[in-house]
Structure 1
Amino acid sequence: MKLEQLHNHNSPNKSFNHPITNFSTKSFISSLFNSIVLHANPLGLHICYFLTITVLGYLALKLSKPRTDYTPTDFDLFFTAASASTVASLSTVEMEVFSNTQLVIMFTLIFLGGEIFISLLGLQLRRSKLISSSLHKNRANSSIADQEQSIELGSVMFQKPVESDHDDETRLLHNSIKSLGYVVTGYILVAHVLGTSLVSMYISLTTNAKSVLENKGLVLLTFYVFTTVSTFANCGFIPTNENMIVFRNNPGLLLILIPFGLVGETLYPPCLRLIIWVMERYTKRKEYTYMLENYKELNYGHLMSSKECWFLVATVFGFLTLQFVTFCIMEWSSGVMEGMSSYEKVVGSLFQMANARHAGESVVDLSVVSSVILVIFIVMMYFPPYTSFLPIGYQQQEEDIQSIKSRKMYKKKNIIQNLIFSQLSYLTIFVILICFTERKSLKDDPLNFNVLNIVFEVISAYGSVGFSTGYGCKRRLKLDENCIDKSYGLAGWFSKEGKAILILAMFYGRFKKFNVHGGQAWRLI
């Protein structure tokens, strides 16, 4: 009887459903996603992602009408889309030219280009890879079981397979990544809701600040959300032409924005670890314990050890204190903060220095700031957000033995790469190319176009900061009656070739973590 059933099962005349005939569209899309996205190079994914949102943002800006009669050129709109998506915040068009719809498009690009949001997408991809790997393993095990069943049909009693420690570890890793995704999502939502609420509350209760926005004809809700999103993403775009200079006499608003700029970039790892520690203490869930003890297994670069977080906090506040003291010494009585009280000067200086690393918002005119401060800004903008001073002994403890052997094996190759393809090499190339494209302006207008200002602009684009020395018609050696001062940066006065090079610098700045082993060469001792 069993032989007859086996014969009928293998009979060619018996109809059966082949997997290909039942291959649904959903399965095809899922398979295509797994083969392209999950197995793609991370750098390639980042490039495709930023190019996609930049192009879509450009098209959306182009289809939307501006607020004024002036219509920006297509190249300036693309530059603006690239600057928003890379959170570089360099401008070639005055912000008040854009309509409310275009402002919404811009802060959407800023949100999508924010580092924390992109890291959340990376967590989801990591989780998808684990699921795909588990499914592949289960299918392989199922195929082996089917083969065994066909060989010993009806004579074997199958038992439930015993789960191995490796399966438990994989499940715990998957659950930890899932929980971490929830934590990061909550972090983003709470920051934006809280920031928008505080900004709106302050503006509503402060008559002069509210009147500024009403006189400019800006939609208040758009300003609240735009400012919060831009500050948290460390972009630097503000809907007003003057950036935050127009609010230099509102220290309350500046004090609200300072912490959101810090927790959105440089202090994100310490804040993230603190939240996970609190969750672990109160929930007692093993996923949070696993995150704290096995943070490297999660492959989430923003999750660091407690010692690294402490060193990072010390470095951030050390830089902030150094800049604050230097700025107050150099600019307290220089006229840069003219019209501000002593308290407003202290808060304004603190705000300016907190934005010098990556946020890019400004309460002073950088064109009249001393060269000493500009050089300090260049150094601060060049440093990555997680630059920290680590003791030599601690660095040696963190070194992996295999990486040391690999480094010795490819020592000559690494030396060549660091000499030829270092960060400074690329930045030097960008500066040289822009000096070449703007050589006529360098000759005819040396007070606005000089090497220091160009270096400042390139480093600002590379560091995704957005600081600019601007352009002043009164600084021209040959006065031109047709010259009209604009509130956008020096980049707005570049040629198309110079702007294109700045766009490359913006994108390169967002991809710099993929160079020099993820930025290890920047760690200071």
Structure 2
Amino acid sequence: MTFSWGVMKSYLPRIRFLTVHYAYFIGVSLVTSAILWGSSTPAYSVRYIDALFLTVSAMTLAGLNTVNLSTLNTFQQILLFFLIMAGSTIWVSIAVVLVRKRAFEKRFEEIVQEETLRRKRLRKMSSIGRRMSWTRSLSRQTIDSQPDRIPNSTTFSLQPIKSRTKSLGQISRNGSAHSRQSSQQADDTQPMTRYQTGSVGTGERIPDEASPGEPDDEATDAHIAFTHDVRDRPEESPSSPVRRRMRPPYINVQSMAAAQNGLEEGGHGGDFDGEADSHLHFLRKFSRNSSFHHLSERERERLGGAEYRAVSLLSIIVPLYFLLWQVLGGIGVAAYVARNKAAVARSNGLNPWWTGFFFAISAFNNSGMSVLDANMVPFQRSTYMLITMGLLMLAGNTCYPVFLRWILCALRFLLPQGEYFHYFRETLTFLLDHPRRCYTTLFPSAHTWWLLLSVLVLNGIDWVAYEILNYNNPAVDIVPVGPRVLDGLFQALCVRSGGFYITNISALQIGTQMIYVVMMYISVYPVVITMRHSNIYEERSLGIYADDPTVGEASETSSLSSSLSHQPPSPGRLYFIKHQLRAQMAYDLWWIALAVIIICIVEAGQFTRDPITYSAFNIIFETVSAYGCVGISTGLPNQFYSFSGGWRTLSKLVLCAVMIRGRHRALPVAIDKAIMLPSEKLAKAEEEDALIRMERTMTRTTR
């Protein structure tokens, strides 16, 4: 019995962003684990479970290690080095941006192909029209040569053959670029009007409504062309080469027709400015989170063009950000280690430059892995090392949305005024005003400031806890007061995602360790809540809807209506945040609880033998660190690798699953404009959301 591909496809799960993300991380981890295991020297000196654990830890940026990385050969270290970059959040976001950019371009190519076919049909019809004009002209010449054969002849004028042919040729060249408005303007500037003759001998004139050179206005408005399709024509207006290069890659054909008419009437090539300055005026038609509604087809086209230019700009800026931070940071850290701590690296059998570069890459991607067995402990008094590494950790994760927005704001501020940079400035403005339509981790101004505040508050709590709770702690007091303050700040940055440790974690006061558990658990919450709170399809993704007013207005209205009608208040903006927090915590908690229970059962024998080292708290600490993809660990006595390095095989497999699941909790929900490919379905979703909100608002108002 044979099955067609269509039947088989109906049984396959729907491919979504989350599915592809899981497949990428699991597939790469499995393949590279076999490579890491097979490349061990001596052969198979690294157990496969440890090879799998290391590759999963590197890909998920968890940073835990069950063997000392210094014992691996150079090839294995390089493999982990590239796995850390391959699992980076920014690297994955670059792939999403490039895929969406290509999807836009593919959609535009389809429209251009349709437009090209339409032009060909128009040229063919124009050619037929010219032949008909010649036929009518020859008939007229025959009639004029024999006037006695025309009964009751009445004089009437036909437009000259040359003018008619020129007009049709011009229309054929411009094709769909002329709307009815531009055609009328052309008629006003030329002393002629297109007519077709009625019955010969009556002189009756009938407007040429079926002229093949004049496409219908409604049909024209829906068509788009690329700039190069227009400017490569020899008939293009003689605007400057600079001006042509600065045109956007996606423009409405009608705006080109308007510019063309302006040039033909003696104007300059700046008519695009008028269109560009006003072509996004319709963006005022949006509710919160840049959700646009009640847009016409032309406005949707222009919105798509603005989004495409914004995504194209991100496809340049984000890879440069990802590359320059790591290259410059790697050179800076590696040079410092080679100059000041070379002996530390060589005592571990490592090259100083390689050690420093690995540190920098691991810090920027918030992995916490280190080829140096002692991690960051030898750098407790190295001010330059701590500041540079701390800045790299902020730039690569917790403060990445803040830094990226600052860069875009700085570009717009420093951009010179003038016609040359007009569209670049316009694209930056659109990206800053409506960031969540284009990118997952770029937020509006208010959300960005809230995120920065949360980073300061949470890191401040960790910093104060380190300094105060560990007062008179010998493991901390061994460092002088000045460097100790900087050590506390560095350790605070590492707790949320960095994964490094400046002091042995098991030597810290138990209250500090408990605070670290909580901070690792909520480490991703500020970014995730901000991402979902600024989602364009926020209600649709959560399955709930609220009124459109702002927080204050919604709260006042709901409180007043509830007091009058004795009904519970309607959900406002704060309701969504609470709902998201409850849902996220509940979903995360059962994963951690289940993993801890399984590991405690498997490691029961170890607990009986050494209840202090294999305590339930240490297991919880390690599991939360893996789920939060942080990487700090209480460790094992007389060992440099993580606490999980002493676990049994099943416990390590469970922790691998925990790391993979934890890496995916920071992703946007499935219904998110920044990860969805452009389609008509998205436009319909926005209109449906607006309609539902309006209906619910009207329902509450009438109660």
Q: TM-score, normalised by structure 2?
A: 0.60
- How far apart are residue 459 of structure 1 and its match? 0.9
Aligned to 1:354: 493
Q: Output the amino acid matched with 2:46.
A: P
* Structure-1 separation of matches of 2:459 and 2:499: 14
Aligned to 1:523: none
Of residues 158-167 and 111-120 in structure 1, the stretch that sits farther from structure 2 once superposed is 158-167
Q: Output the amino acid matched with 2:32.
A: G
| RMSD, aligned α-carbons | 3.2
Instruction: Map 1:209-248 to 2 at 5 A.
Output: 209-248=341-380
Aligned to 1:58: 33
Match of 2:320 among 186, 191, 206: 186
Aligned to 1:490: 643
Aligned to 1:425: 590
Match of 1:49 among 1, 24, 30: 24
Q: Output the amino acid matched with 1:330.
A: L
SS at match of 1:336: helix
CA contact (8 A) 1:100 1:219 kept: no
- How far apart are residue 257 of structure 1 and its match? 0.7
Instruction: Map 1:364-513 to 2 at 5 A.
Output: 364-385=503-524, 387=526, 403=540, 406-407=543-544, 418=583, 422-472=587-637, 485-513=638-666
CA contact (8 A) 2:592 2:624 kept: yes
Which string of whole-angstrom CA distances, capped at 9 and with x for unpartnered residues, describes residues 246-286 of structure 1? 22232331122111111110000010001011111223522
Aligned to 1:171: 305
Which string of whole-angstrom CA distances, capped at 9 and with x for unpartnered residues, describes residues 464-486 of structure 1? 111111122xxxxxxxxxxxx32
* Structure-1 separation of matches of 2:533 and 2:412: 29
Alpha-carbon distance change, 386 to 308 in structure 1, aligned in 2, over 3 angstroms:
farther
- How far apart are residue 139 of structure 1 and its match? 4.0
* Structure-1 separation of matches of 2:597 and 2:499: 24
Of residues 400-409 and 495-504 in structure 1, the stretch that sits farther from structure 2 once superposed is 400-409
- How far apart are residue 53 of structure 1 and its match? 2.3
* Structure-2 separation of matches of 1:171 and 1:375: 50
Aligned to 1:91: 65
Q: TM-score, normalised by structure 1?
A: 0.79
* Structure-1 separation of matches of 2:629 and 2:115: 48
Match of 1:344 among 474, 477, 483: 483
Match of 1:263 among 377, 384, 395: 395
Alpha-carbon distance change, 210 to 421 in structure 1, aligned in 2, over 3 angstroms:
same
Q: Output the amino acid matched with 1:451.
A: A
CA contact (8 A) 2:436 2:534 kept: no
CA contact (8 A) 2:338 2:356 kept: no
CA contact (8 A) 1:442 1:450 kept: yes
Q: Output the amino acid matched with 2:437.
A: E
CA contact (8 A) 1:235 1:360 kept: yes
SS at match of 1:177: helix
Alpha-carbon distance change, 428 to 293 in structure 1, aligned in 2, over 3 angstroms:
same
Q: Output the amino acid matched with 1:44.
A: T
**Greater radius of gyration (CA):** 2
Which string of whole-angstrom CA distances, capped at 9 and with x for unpartnered residues, describes residues 146-175 of structure 1? 788889983496552242554443233212
Aligned to 1:78: 52
* Structure-2 separation of matches of 1:267 and 1:434: 34
**2:176 is the counterpart of 1:161:** yes
How many equivalent pairs are there?
458
**2:280 is the counterpart of 1:127:** no
Aligned to 2:281: none
Q: Which runs of 5+ in 2 are unaligned?
A: 1-13, 131-167, 178-252, 254-297, 416-420, 547-570, 572-578, 673-703
* Structure-1 separation of matches of 2:85 and 2:34: 17
Q: Output the amino acid matched with 1:160.
A: G
Alpha-carbon distance change, 405 to 504 in structure 1, aligned in 2, over 3 angstroms:
closer
Aligned to 1:291: 431
Match of 1:205 among 328, 336, 339: 339
- How far apart are residue 119 of structure 1 and its match? 0.8
Of residues 353-362 and 147-156 in structure 1, the stretch that sits farther from structure 2 once superposed is 147-156
Aligned to 1:22: none
CA contact (8 A) 2:68 2:373 kept: yes
Alpha-carbon distance change, 397 to 133 in structure 1, aligned in 2, over 3 angstroms:
closer
SS at match of 2:366: coil
Which string of whole-angstrom CA distances, capped at 9 and with x for unpartnered residues, describes residues 408-465 of structure 1? 59x9xx99x9499711122211112212222222333221112211111111111111
Q: Output the amino acid matched with 2:328.
A: L
CA contact (8 A) 1:332 1:345 kept: no
SS at match of 1:447: coil
Q: Output the amino acid matched with 2:429.
A: T
SS at match of 1:264: helix
CA contact (8 A) 2:53 2:652 kept: yes
SS at match of 2:475: coil
Q: Could you tell me the percent identity over the aligned residues?
A: 23
Instruction: Map 1:18-33 to 2 at 5 A.
Output: none
* Structure-1 separation of matches of 2:355 and 2:534: 48
Alpha-carbon distance change, 514 to 324 in structure 1, aligned in 2, over 3 angstroms:
closer
SS at match of 1:323: helix
Alpha-carbon distance change, 420 to 372 in structure 1, aligned in 2, over 3 angstroms:
closer
Q: Output the amino acid matched with 2:464.
A: V
Alpha-carbon distance change, 313 to 167 in structure 1, aligned in 2, over 3 angstroms:
same
- How far apart are residue 402 of structure 1 and its match? 5.5
* Structure-1 separation of matches of 2:662 and 2:668: 10
